[in-house]
Chain A
Amino acid sequence: MMSERNLNIAVLAMFIGIPAWAYFSDEPFTITLMTRAAIFALAAVGLNLALGVGGLVSLGHAAFFGLGGYVMGILAYHAQTYTPLAEWPFLVEGTKSMPVIWLASLLLSAGLAWVIGSLSLRTTGVYFIMITLAFAQMMFFFSISWSAYGGEDGLSIYVRNNFPGLNTLDPIQFFAICFVILLAALFLSARLAKSPFGLALNAARQSPQRVETVGLNTQRLKLVAFVISGAITGLAGALFADLNRFVSPTMFSWQLSGEIMVFIIIGGVGRLFGPVVGALVFVALEHFLGGLSEFWHIYLGLLLLLIVLFGKGGLIGLICGREKVHD
């Protein structure tokens, strides 16, 4: 069987090789597809921290994805219309700067995750799933009702935001930005999983009471994981909005929360590259099967069914065998 490390290297090679081939073959659409895969992977890397390591089955991560998207949309909208975002208590202007938008997305998504997590983590099991879903649905309907920013029609941004020294309208350069951020998130995720915090979180998933008896507050561990997870997914939302130059309430939809979870299940829950493999497969199916039939989700459902029934470690589990350390 192939080692997981080699598979991870192969996946990274695909993320470099395919866009490079597309660049030299003048296939910008393929680069955009890979950018979409990298952004979806980033969103799922965020959820994987809560779901895979912490065992928190959140069906509301679209709340963070959508918030990140709207942070980008609102800041860019005010910048392009030259109107201030707020004048009181102090003047807040819009911006077209990606780093500023990313920072705002990270902070606001983390803040929202703290609020949602503080309330949801009082519950467990199916109640946790439902309460996270309820928060995301509240955000969804709020965005529909917010006519100042397009309501149900969403908000268009005419020109992609700026990154110092790069032409972000060039597909390969925007892909490079998204890929580097994905690598950074993977690095952070790997370090976190092996840090005392990650180990304690992993242990709390297995036996919360035992973790409490060694002096660790499991609720706080889970909340911190949920906040970091929400922040990463929020950043993915900001990038996704920049990719499409458009934000709409569908970024908050429960279908999107489900899709982010599907990426992880397809790739392998708790595996570092599980979300990456899952997002890549999803985008490939969406592209190739979507071209054959608009009901391509039937085939996605079939794949998901097969993986859940026969390969609980996801595709990575099927290719590399069961993980040695993760139960």
Chain B
Amino acid sequence: MTLLAVSDLRASYGPSQALFGVNLDVQEGEVLALMGRNGMGKSTTVKSICRMMPSEGTISFASTNLINLASHQTARLGIGLVPEGRRCFASLTVYENLVAAARPGAWMFDSVVDLFPRLGERAQQVASSLSGGEQQMLAIGRALMTNPRLLILDEATEGLAPIIRQEIWSAINKLKTETGLSILVIDKSIRELRGVCDKAVILERGRNVWSGSIDQLTSEITEQYVGV
């Protein structure tokens, strides 16, 4: 069953058009990689889906058209966003960051700590005092506390130490295999994406240039469109 279907998505930053008709879909329990070089429209697509910026086209989530909804309404429908640059609530503790975002469902403080034990150890520490990796875990935990049906990870492992990246990828894997959560992930780590994703969409200059199963994603294609 299709959970998210985006068709002919167009968006602009003032007079400068960034998206020229992006199409993608995510099925229930599926993990989709959204790929492309910097500035090709990946984050703009995510911001449009989460209604953080105005756009045109159709964004259907669980049979509801999101295009006229506010950002908080898309989150209530079940879209959990882990934004680029983490952006935790700096002056709140780890526990408070998670509790502030909590919505009813299976994901609670304890289950987030099971996924990221480091957060349990740092529960009473303010978010601004955490390392970049721990802040990223907190950002993922915060999105999970909203009990989403679709988790969107925007550059979740960017700029992190290899060991932390590994921890985060293993958590994403766990989310897929153990909870069957649908995930849309933006990243450039091709090897890790191959391990967790079912299919991929590549954007170039705000348009789809390739989409298909992750098994069909050859190194020629990634070299041509992603540069890795």
Contacts and interface: CB of A to CB of B under 8 A. Distances in A.
Contacts of A217: 70, 72
A267 B97 CA distance: 27
Interface in A164-220: 194, 196, 199-200, 202-203, 206-207, 209-218
Given A199-B100, A203-B100, A210 B89 contact: yes
Contacts of B126: 324-325
What is the interface of chain A mostly: helix, strand, loop, or mixed?
helix
A287 interface: no
Nearest to B126: A325
Interface stretch (B75-83, B115-123, B182-190, B210-218): B75-83
Contacts of A211: 72, 100
A326 interface: yes
A102 to B, nearest CB: 32
B92 A203 contact: yes
Contacts, number: 73
A210 B127 CA distance: 14
B90 A214 contact: no
Given A196-B99, A199-B99, A199-B100, A213 B50 contact: yes
Contacts of A210: 83, 87, 89
B37 interface: no
A210 B82 CA distance: 9
B208 interface: no
B199 interface: no
A27 B70 CA distance: 60
Interface residues of A, number: 22
Interface string B175-197: 00000000000000000000000
What is the interface of chain B mostly: helix, strand, loop, or mixed?
mixed
Contact of A212 (B72, B87, B91, B128): B72
B52 interface: yes
A259 to B, nearest CB: 28
A215 B75 contact: yes
Interface in A305-327: 324-327
A92 B83 CA distance: 56
A201 to B, nearest CB: 9
A271 to B, nearest CB: 13
B98 to A, nearest CB: 10
A98 to B, nearest CB: 37
Interface in A216-249: 216-218
A207 B70 CA distance: 16
B143 interface: yes
B205 interface: no
B165 interface: no
B130 interface: no
Contacts of A200: 100-101
Nearest to A214: B101
Given A212-B71, A212-B75, A325 B92 contact: yes
A213 B100 contact: no
Most buried by A among B52, B101, B143: B101
Nearest to A195: B99
A267 B50 CA distance: 41
Contacts of A202: 89, 91-92, 100
8 contacts: A202-B91, A202-B92, A213-B52, A213-B81, A214-B80, A214-B100, A326-B91, A327-B128
Interface of B: 50, 52, 70-72, 75-76, 80-81, 83, 87, 89-93, 96-97, 99-103, 126, 128, 142-143, 145-146
Given A211-B72, A213-B83, 14 more contacts: A199-B96, A200-B101, A202-B92, A207-B87, A209-B52, A209-B71, A210-B83, A210-B89, A211-B100, A212-B71, A213-B52, A214-B146, A215-B76, A217-B70
Interface of A: 194, 196, 199-200, 202-203, 206-207, 209-218, 324-327
